[in-house]
Structure 1
Amino acid sequence: MEVEEHYEEGGQPVEAGAGPGEQTEAHAQDTAVGDGATAAGWYTTFVFPCQPQPIYRATQEYANNSASCPNSNFLKGVKWSPDGACLLTASDDNWLRLYDLPQDVATAPVLQYPDLLPPEEQQGQQEQGQAAGGGGGTCSGSGAAADNLVPALRMHAGETVYDYCWYSRMSALDPVSCCLASTARGHPIQLWDACSGEPRASYRGYNDADEPTAAYSLAFSPDGGRLLGGYNRSIYVFDVTRPGRDYKRIVTHKRKNPESITGIVSCLAWSPGGDVFAAGTYTGGLGVYDGRTYELLLLLSGTKGGLTQLLFSADGNYLYTGARQDPHMLCWDVRHTYAALYSMERPTGHTNQRVQFDIEPAGRHLVTGGCDGCVLAYDLSSGQQVDRAQVAGDTVNGVGLHPTLGLMATASAISTLGQAGVLAK
């Protein structure tokens, strides 16, 4: 696939069009180390259609069953760090795993595996490999393929992981900023050190009966000062510098009040400017809130399933939503409309999984996984599908585009195993 690199003179963004969902500002990677300075001034533009080529994978890492995962293990998405230095995954065995991006990524050879093919083709190649005296997979044409992506850190969340996210100002140049947050069933929000894998702090939420309760979704503010936690009919705002029980509660649903969103707050997203944030619920409620006063600004409706992901465009004018049991991703203009501009179809109408999507740094395309093992790409200026590539033999529930390089990471379930991979675009 062709990749174009755009340079921003003096750190000023390059104009990138003005269609619906298309960014008018290019995304400059922020590698702040405490003073808010930006070091990167370029981004990568993807050109579709293309055929992604696998260069790294981790499968056996997720193959070992444990008491917490007796039947099978599967991944719950994959997320790049804000500076692109590492990847983060969560899986059904209650472990968070951090992978450093290998230094030889620019020269890494292309790998070939049966698990990147549909199930029937996997079985055929495995039988051929066994008949030839080799393993089922091949690595550059030789023997069984072993994992060439090994986690640098493993962090045990204790119980089922509901959500996880990187600290928004994370930079490998500043160890203090290298941290991430996770929330798990029956546990407070945990802040982890991404250098040592040890807990740094915890943020505890309580319900109306003054009982500790777990958050279902998380989101750091762009400046890194606040951490949002989604709870049942509430959003809690934590000051990152003040761990513990200190928080501000935003009630998202009140009885006999139609201007509210009902149910568990399942996903959260800040606009890049930090002036507003969006919250979605498992009942399909979607609201946009003022990031300073926490007042509800906009109530949107039209989603059929429970919302699982929200994502703003780089200019903050457009909001993209995805839901479970719903084959449509929607694009909303949050400035002056109560109806979706257009929808993008994906094969997720019969699954309760969280299926991730991501927007390229240049803002022109959106990519998403699906239940057919494919990654789909859409042109955000029109909402039209521009590419479809088979990357796995089972549901691709995680997809993430590198903030500056032409790389895409995917997470999928292969039979009873999980698979994490990095694909060169």
Structure 2
Amino acid sequence: MMSSEPSSSPHQEWPRISAPPRLVASTGNTYHGSIFRTALRENAEGPTPTSGGRARNPFNGSESNLFKSVQWTPDGTTLLTHSEDDGLRTFILPPDLLSASETALVPYCTTFTSSRVFATAIYPLANISQPESFIYLCSPRGEPIRLHSLLHPGLLSSYPLINPNTEVFETPYSLLIPSNTPNSFLAGTNNQISIFDLHRCGDGPVTVLKTTPARHAPATTTTMKGLVTAMALSDGMLAAGTNTRQVGLYAGDGGGEVIGVFTLPPDHEKVGRGVTGLSWSACGRYLYIAERRSDVVSVYDIRVTGHRVASLCGRAAGTNQRLGVDVATGLDGEVVAGGTDGVVRIWKGGEEGGGESVGAWQAHQDVVSSAVVHPFGSVVATCSGSRKTFGLGNRVSDDSSSSGSSGSGGEEEEEDQDNKGLWDNSLKVWEIPSSRITDQSP
């Protein structure tokens, strides 16, 4: 698509998307609306293997069932989504996805957790032809870290992370399974990164890295305070970011020495609310940093620790909701992100000097919470939704309408909102053919 080599001129002409990408698959309006209503729709479409279920809790049934995130499996066959009902859904895509007409996406299986999930991580060697490798981790609040299969619901293993002072479960805000050492995984919590052995089921961490040696230790170039909310690995170097706007670099896949820690500067006179995403360029030279309530993706050259070389502007992410950023390492290193306006934007990766997006399209009618590029080609998966809570009257009428009676503000009102485009909790898959990329001035 677009070259990832840095240029000395930030004003050169870049290729742009000349036409909107082609929508090849979607969940349609199945998840538009409240958790209660979307559960009825999902069940009406056919039985899906499930386990557990916060969705069965009547007290949160009025919440909007938005999609919080989506991830590709490394083999590019499957999508894993996380929704407001704490359902972790697996969508297996058909082999003829790009040659068929628009495909209706239906979850292959769904795993519900009993509490809010803060992070997920797919096994880096996951392959659908090897079911034993098709697994992922998740971290529910106040519970051990859980290991699940992408092909069937149910618990495979758990890994407790207990605070020695309070004897309660610590909840990781980020999880990472290294691709070069997939027998272990990392979990980021408050002032700490814990390393687990994936094969030691039921055991706690084998190594603990304290990002700051003491609770009240002064800030230095080797200390990083706060919740570890994002992690990324490249060539054995771990980058970890916190909700206090600090980024640390660690050798040895996170188990080695501290290379350096730096604090993010304000973005155009605005200060973000903490790191939500970290991604390395394919060459391992650049680190892309996304923050909460920040319209900028910051690009750092890790050869000069703490030196920002570019600011990718216009992300439209001025919200507390966590919006994902992805780097198309399978293509030419493009940076892809969605915004609160429902638009997905593309920037040229690794551009010294930064600039505005070089391509964009209207993907949804609500917040785009994730936009992720297929591991091997120009296919993008997006998901959307934002929090909208109904009042008690709406929830009661939903309950009554399901039993055959009617009431004000029930199903009819919710469907009217759907038709007006006020709801867009959906998962979509887009094709971006190379023929749709042309050389035009931005």
TM-score of the two chains, using structure 1 as the length reference: 0.77
Indicate which of 71, 75, 84 corresponds to 2:76: 84
**How far 1:50 sits from its partner (Å)?**
4.1
Task: Give RMSD over aligned pairs.
Answer: 2.2
**Structural mapping, 1:4-403, within 5 Å:** 18-19=5-6, 48-62=17-31, 63=33, 64-65=35-36, 66=55, 67=58, 68-109=60-101, 148-209=104-165, 210-223=167-180, 224-247=182-205, 248-253=207-212, 254=214, 255-258=217-220, 259-271=222-234, 273=235, 275-292=236-253, 293-303=255-265, 304-305=271-272, 306-360=274-328, 361-382=330-351, 383-384=354-355, 385-403=357-375
Q: For each residue in 1:218-275, what CA deviation from the matched residue of structure 2 results, as whole angstroms up to 9, or x when unmatched?
A: 111113122111111111111111122331111112312423111111111111x3x1
Q: Is the 8 A contact 1:398 1:411 kept in 2?
A: yes
Provide the C-alpha distance between the structure 1 equivalents of 2:163 and 2:28, rounded to a whole number of angstroms: 39
AA aligned opposite 1:389:
W
CA gap of 1:343–1:83, structure 2 versus 1, over 3 A, is same
Q: For each residue in 1:19-46, what CA deviation from the matched residue of structure 2 results, as whole angstroms up to 9, or x when unmatched?
A: 279xxxxxxxxxxxxxxxxxxxxxxxx9
Q: Is the 8 A contact 2:4 2:332 kept in 1?
A: no
Could you tell me which runs of 5 or more consecutive residues in structure 2 were left unpaired when the two chains were aligned: 9-14, 37-54, 266-270, 386-420, 433-442
Q: Is the 8 A contact 1:73 1:416 kept in 2?
A: no
Provide the C-alpha distance between the structure 2 equivalents of 1:354 and 1:219, rounded to a whole number of angstroms: 18
% same residue? 28
AA aligned opposite 2:279:
L
Q: Secondary structure at the match of 2:132?
A: helix
Q: Secondary structure at the match of 1:176?
A: helix
Q: Is the 8 A contact 2:183 2:199 kept in 1?
A: yes
Provide the C-alpha distance between the structure 1 equivalents of 2:90 and 2:203, rounded to a whole number of angstroms: 28
Q: Is the 8 A contact 2:342 2:362 kept in 1?
A: yes
**How far 1:282 sits from its partner (Å)?**
0.9
Provide the C-alpha distance between the structure 1 equivalents of 2:61 and 2:257, rounded to a whole number of angstroms: 41
| 2:399 counterpart residue number | none
**How far 1:59 sits from its partner (Å)?**
4.1
Q: Structure 1: which 4+ aligned runs deviate by more than 4 Å? A: none
Name the structure where strand makes up a greater proportion of residues: 1
Q: How many residues align?
A: 350
CA gap of 1:411–1:366, structure 2 versus 1, over 3 A, is same
Q: For each residue in 1:272-310, what CA deviation from the matched residue of structure 2 results, as whole angstroms up to 9, or x when unmatched?
A: x3x111111111111111125432212122253211010
CA gap of 1:296–1:415, structure 2 versus 1, over 3 A, is farther
CA gap of 1:228–1:388, structure 2 versus 1, over 3 A, is same
**How far 1:349 sits from its partner (Å)?**
4.7
AA aligned opposite 1:387:
G
| 1:404 counterpart residue number | 376
CA gap of 1:406–1:257, structure 2 versus 1, over 3 A, is closer
Farther-moved stretch of structure 1 (298-307 vs 392-401): 298-307
**How far 1:346 sits from its partner (Å)?**
3.0
Could you tell me which runs of 5 or more consecutive residues in structure 1 were left unpaired when the two chains were aligned: 5-15, 22-45, 111-146
Q: Is the 8 A contact 1:218 1:268 kept in 2?
A: yes
